[in-house]
Amino acid sequence: MVMLQEMSIAQAHDGFRRGNLTAEDLTTAFLRRIEAFDKVGPRINAMMALFTTAIEEAASLDRYFKETGKFKGKLHGIPIVVKDQADTKGIVTTHGSAVGLNNVADKNAFAIKKLKDAGGIILGKTTTSEWACCWFSASGATGYEFTKNPYNLGHDVGASSSGSAAALAANFAILAVGEDTGGSIRVPSSFCNLVGIRPTPGLISRTGFCPLIKVQDSPGPMARNVRDCALMLDCMVGFDPEDEFTGVAATAVAMEVPRGASYAAFLEDGPEKIRKAKIGVMRQMFGSNDDPKCQAVNKVISDAMEKLQGVGTTFVDVNIDNLKHYMTYSQTYLIRSRADINSFLATKPHLPSDIADIVPKTPAHPYLDLLSAMAHGPAEPTLEPTYASRLLLRDELKRATSCLIASLGLDALVFPDVQIPAPRFEDATNGSIETLKFPTNTFLSSQTCMPAISVPAGFTKNGLPVGLELLALEYQEQHILELARGIEVTLEARRAPDEDSWAV
């Protein structure tokens, strides 16, 4: 029997080399686990569709290894699940919408092709919020059924990479593809005790991904540990002539980024690096201690920082004046998302050409208010009177953030990904959490286009995970991965969910 709990890339590859595990064994075991827990039993509801060819592909990789004695690539035989926002050849991609239930792409998104070229095995697609535009997991594609948090089945997993996070936390795969426009990798990573990185936009191609805000969108890796996250990032980055934003990836190569030709090359320097690090604490991004939910998160983050301080990390309180105004006014979801999504729909003639014809103006559910407002925004963003001033303020925020880090000689900024733990499902409908005011801090990275990573910080008293976010200057993915590795080693905050609690 294959033991899947918390299996890493290194453990799987060691098993392949020793001959006591095959890619086919591993793939079969994960598919059986999905069958046992996703739509029956606890009904995690993380998966949208599964590839019928996954076992066959695994067997082919086993033959390749047997014949050559080599792995096809860094992800040889590693099972991966993919957010249902990315085109995958031969299997449905819904974008979280009922109109996409019969949408099957004829080729893979560029990043998915790169993962397969590295030997990854795509098991299937994971649930996502509708058009990747909601903080809760339920969508029209699932009949508005929520995806359950493996750490507490009565709580949500966050969105929009909801199924990817739940699948990893529930040990349905070793790696997952997420996508992050405003926090959609980092929020569910925080809620599910995972490592998730949002890289500098353009390092990873968005070709084949439905956009939300093209200048902010970035696919990225999600994993249960920092090393796996770094290795997956290695296999996703790269120039794509069909995505002009990936000039960023070409620039990184010219700068010889990453050092050592891999984002994982110097991870084991992480513990020493975190001991010497000087990190700016954004206290203005912590929730009020008068709110019990915020207080629970603040305690976890404070305890984590105290432990890091104990090994030598220097923390300095920092501040950005008028931050709340910067982060709210510089958002452009309601101005340009309709046009960006419509540009993608134009490549899908079998789907409606305007998101406004798909999403009702009056939200079908309270937590879809942002989606409805976005879908019925202006068809041409440049005609919106405030558009230019919002972009100018966004650029000003980026300069202010970069100068803060540089002027104080900081390695990174730190704050909780989200000011509250994973919410209950009823919080989506009872008005206790307003979707348009969801208390996330992830917009700072998204709107400045600076890289950020979520790393497990610990658990609240009632067992809900809390993520700590590190934000750094552009192209410093390797730097924050190394810091995250130091945090991972120091805090040892990652643990698997208690499956006994899944009993029904």
Helix orientation angle between 477-491 and 226-236, rounded to the nearest 10 degrees: 160
CA 200 to chain centre: 13
How many beta carbons lie within 10 A of that of residue 385, not counting itself?
A: 7
Give the Cα separation of 65 and 62 in Å (integer): 5
Burial class (CB in 10 A: 0-12, 13-18, 19+), 102: exposed
- Per the annotation, the verdict on 83 as an active-site residue is yes
Q: C-alpha angle with apex 386: 130 to 135, nearest 5 degrees?
A: 20
- Per the annotation, the verdict on 8 as an active-site residue is no
Residue 241: what residue type? Answer: P
Given the residues 162, 184, 218, 330, select the one marked as catalytic. 184
DSSP 406-436: HHTT-SEEEEESBSS-PPBGGGGTSSSS-GG
Burial class (CB in 10 A: 0-12, 13-18, 19+), 141: buried
Give the Cα separation of 197 and 194 in Å (integer): 10
SS3 state at 453: strand
Which residue in this structure is represented by tokens 């805090």? 491
- Per the annotation, the verdict on 218 as an active-site residue is no
Given the residues 97, 139, 160, 337, select the one marked as catalytic. 160
Label residues 310-336 b or e (16+ Cβ within 10 Å = b).
eeebeeeebebeebeebbeebbbbbbb
Using alpha carbons, select from 22, 238, 269, 241 the residue that is nearest to residue 115. Answer: 238
Given the residues 72, 74, 83, 293, select the one marked as catalytic. 83
Give the Cα separation of 130 and 145 in Å (integer): 12
> 116, 141 in Cβ contact below 8 A?
no
Using alpha carbons, select from 72, 458, 481, 425 the residue that is nearest to residue 270. Answer: 481
Give the Cα separation of 7 and 291 in Å (integer): 37
Using alpha carbons, select from 304, 262, 257 the residue that is nearest to residue 279. Answer: 304
Using alpha carbons, select from 416, 432, 429 the residue that is nearest to residue 464. Answer: 416
Give the Cα separation of 480 and 76 in Å (integer): 26
| Active site positions, annotated | 83, 160, 184
